[in-house]
Structure 1
Amino acid sequence: MTQLPGPSLCGALLCWVCLSAPGLAVEVEVPAEPLGVPLGKTAELTCSYSTSVGDNFALEWSFVQPGRPISDSQPILYFTNGQLYPTGSKAERASLLHNPPTGGVASLKLTDVRPSDTGTYLCHVNNPPDFYTNGLGLINLTVLVPPSRPWCSHSGQTSVGGSAALRCSSSEGAPRPVYNWVHLGSSSPPSPGSMVQGKDPATEEEGTQDLGKARNSTHPQYKFQACDEVTGQLILTNLSLASAGTYRCVATNQMGSASCELTLSVTDPSKGRVAGALIGVLLGVLILSVAVFCLRRFQKERRKKRKEIYGGSDLREDAVAPGISEQTSVRADSSKGLLESAPSASTVTTTKSKLPTIV
């Protein structure tokens, strides 16, 4: 009796026959390197395959956003039964370089690329009843976008001896921009105590640099590389009056650059106290001047009212009654400062009546 081969031997023979037979394995090839395409240009996603195309041949292109699993991919187009079916939000911009894609080339063309087109594209070739070992290819596409104008801000204690944090960030830019700071030169000499954390542009060595030594006549615009080029943050410590001025942040990637500026004001508390005292003195002088002016005006108005009351046809206190002539002697007492008026009998003369006397 002839002994039949075991199950393991039969399985191995079947696999060898399937793999050695022509057209029974689908191999998809795509570029290993990510693809970068400038904004608004046309992207060509290369995909090729090797198999004997049959009646059931099908091709599918799909897309998944960055950071999402492959299972969340969304279809872009299908090719099956000799017909092409674009679908999804990219349908109007997606097409095949070779249609029909039955000659081993299944490359995708995507026109007018946008930032939302950045992600992973899946080229899936299916040709049943082929046994395929790798019928799927993945291509990473990045739409290159220049940095948008960054936003500059600062926080901290911007007084002499204090510290300040300068921040810079762009809302758009692919690949991610890197940030650098530039301190525009000023006419005043920098203080040797001003320090900055970052990199010296001359040595590219990290650490704390002396701002006074860095910003000299040979560095009218001293360039700082931020401690973290991704976040765009620059820390200034031990501020001095020379630390004040205009700071410019430059966001850069391979597509271009953009910048923003901010003005940093450094205050000196000691000068502030002197200025406050001076302002207080000036304010006191002003208040006193106003008070004197108002008092003088009040006195002037009072004298004016007295003249109006006792002037004109009013009877004077020193008027002499008709028929009486009075001679008043006034003596000035220099020691007492008083005015004395003393009428006497010898100085008063009675006017006799000129009318005839009846006896």
Structure 2
Amino acid sequence: MAWLQGPFLCGALLGWVCLSAPGLAVEVKVPTEPLSAPVGKTAELTCSYSTSVGDNFALEWSFVQPGRPVSSSQPILYFTNGQLYPTGSKAERASLLQNPPTGGVATLKLTDVHPSDTGTYLCHVNNPPDFYTNGLGLINLTVLVPPNSPSCSQSGQTSVGGSAALRCSSSEGAPRPVYNWIRLGSSPTPPPGSMVQDEVSGQLILTNLSLASSGTYRCVATNQMGSASCELTLSVTEPSKGRVAGAVIGVLLGVLFLSVAVFCLIRFQKDRRKKPKETYGGSDLREDATAPGISEQTSVRAESNNGLLERPPSASTVTTTKSKLPMLV
């Protein structure tokens, strides 16, 4: 039995190596550049793969809207156990060009594409025991839509010397349209800088308006699928005489009020400077003050006799003030 040990050990070793060897890696290839298709047409998204197709082979196509994570994708169709199962809102328009998709290619065909079909498509191949890659490919699809008829509007002060803003916007269009304003007719060309437009937002700014600024303006929205336009008539008017008169009267009244205020302030300052500053203490006595109990007549006579010989006062020249207080007996 010794001669049997060698082949037995070799066979066991070979079996262990075969069981421990990894399976083939699933490799999925998709276009690296984003795809596009006109609205209403058919889009074909190619997905190729390499693997040893077996009984457990499965294929799935799914879709995720722009700006959302891949984990929120929704199934379109899947192939398993030799059967193809379309599903979801795109089931009636989705199919595979290769059915069954077991030859290494699984191209998704989507007919009558809608603007809502714009997004990311996922091709996922699952073939146990080939678990050594995720077997996933991503394709970005853009459905091209021409711009619809834009809407035109205006705002601002449309009188001489004022400013106005003209706006233009389309609710549809992929890729996003650009906007261009043109002035119709043979009107004089506006001075440089008086017309400024933004092709992205579709806004046209008109400054320092004049009567020559009046006219018809057309906005054209354009992308690679086509163009659409709208028109707007701008009427620039002269300021009304009532407004001008009111503004002049307002200015004159303001100047008059300011002049009166300045005059009053200057007059007040002058009066304040002319007013004497006299202060009297409670204990100060004036030289010409009349003593209590003596009338003004006595004071005047005393002043008139100043410089004469002093004479004793007589009864006729002295006036006394009788006390109004009652006398006690």
| Common fold by TM > 0.5 | yes
After superposition, what is the alpha-carbon deviation per residue over 1:298-349, rounded to whole angstroms, capped at 9, x for unaligned? xxxxxxxxxxxxxxxxxxxxxxxxxxxxxxxxxxxxxxxxxxxxxxxxxxxx
Indicate the residue corresponding to 2:284 in structure 1.
none
User: Per-residue deviation at 1:112?
Assistant: 0.7
Q: How does 1:78-93 map to 2 (within 5 A)?
A: 78-93=78-93
After superposition, what is the alpha-carbon deviation per residue over 1:206-260, rounded to whole angstroms, capped at 9, x for unaligned? xxxxxxxxxxxxxxxxxxxx32x22111111111111111110000000000000
Q: Secondary structure at the match of 1:71?
A: helix
Question: Take 1:93 and 1:256, find their aligned partners in 2: how far apart are those partners?
Answer: 26
Q: Secondary structure at the match of 1:116?
A: helix
Q: Is the 1:191–1:241 Cα contact (8 Å) retained in structure 2?
A: no
TM-score scaled to structure 2, two decimals? 0.65
After superposition, what is the alpha-carbon deviation per residue over 1:56-114, rounded to whole angstroms, capped at 9, x for unaligned? 00000000111111111100001000000000010011000100000000110001111
Structure-2 change in CA distance of 1:55 and 1:186 (3 Å): same
Q: Secondary structure at the match of 2:36?
A: strand
Indicate the residue corresponding to 1:127 in structure 2.
127
Structure-2 change in CA distance of 1:191 and 1:259 (3 Å): closer
Q: How does 1:202-213 map to 2 (within 5 A)?
A: none
Indicate the residue corresponding to 1:3 in structure 2.
none
Q: Secondary structure at the match of 1:174?
A: coil
User: Per-residue deviation at 1:192?
Assistant: 4.2
Q: Secondary structure at the match of 1:105?
A: coil
Q: How does 1:33-182 map to 2 (within 5 A)?
A: 33-182=33-182
Question: Take 1:103 and 1:192, find their aligned partners in 2: how far apart are those partners?
Answer: 68
**Aligned-pair Cα RMSD in Å:** 2.3
Indicate the residue corresponding to 1:195 in structure 2.
194
* Residue segments in structure 1 that go unaligned for 5+ positions in a row: 1-12, 198-225, 278-359
TM-score scaled to structure 1, two decimals? 0.60
Could you tell me which of 172, 184, 208 is aligned with 1:238?
208
AA partner of residue 49 (structure 1): Y
Indicate the residue corresponding to 2:184 in structure 1.
184
* Residue segments in structure 2 that go unaligned for 5+ positions in a row: 1-16, 246-329
After superposition, what is the alpha-carbon deviation per residue over 1:252-294, rounded to whole angstroms, capped at 9, x for unaligned? 000000000001111111xx329x99xxxxxxxxxxxxxxxxx
Q: Secondary structure at the match of 2:62?
A: strand
Question: Take 2:132 and 2:150, find their aligned partners in 1: how far apart are those partners?
Answer: 50
Indicate the residue corresponding to 2:27 in structure 1.
27
Structure-2 change in CA distance of 1:160 and 1:62 (3 Å): same
Matched positions, count: 228
User: Per-residue deviation at 1:194?
Assistant: 7.2
The percent identity for this pair of structures is: 84
Q: Secondary structure at the match of 1:181?
A: strand
User: Per-residue deviation at 1:133?
Assistant: 2.1
Question: Take 1:128 and 1:259, find their aligned partners in 2: how far apart are those partners?
Answer: 57
Indicate the residue corresponding to 1:253 in structure 2.
223
Q: Secondary structure at the match of 2:40?
A: coil
Q: Secondary structure at the match of 2:78?
A: strand
Q: Secondary structure at the match of 1:257?
A: strand
Q: How does 1:3-22 map to 2 (within 5 A)?
A: 17-18=21-22
Question: Take 1:102 and 1:193, find their aligned partners in 2: how far apart are those partners?
Answer: 67
Question: Take 2:123 and 2:60, find their aligned partners in 1: how far apart are those partners?
Answer: 6
Q: Is the 1:97–1:108 Cα contact (8 Å) retained in structure 2?
A: yes
Q: How does 1:215-294 map to 2 (within 5 A)?
A: 226-227=197-198, 229-269=199-239, 272-273=240-241
Q: Secondary structure at the match of 2:55?
A: coil
Question: Take 1:116 and 1:247, find their aligned partners in 2: how far apart are those partners?
Answer: 33
Q: Which has the higher strand share?
A: 1
Q: Is the 1:150–1:251 Cα contact (8 Å) retained in structure 2?
A: yes
Structure-2 change in CA distance of 1:273 and 1:186 (3 Å): farther
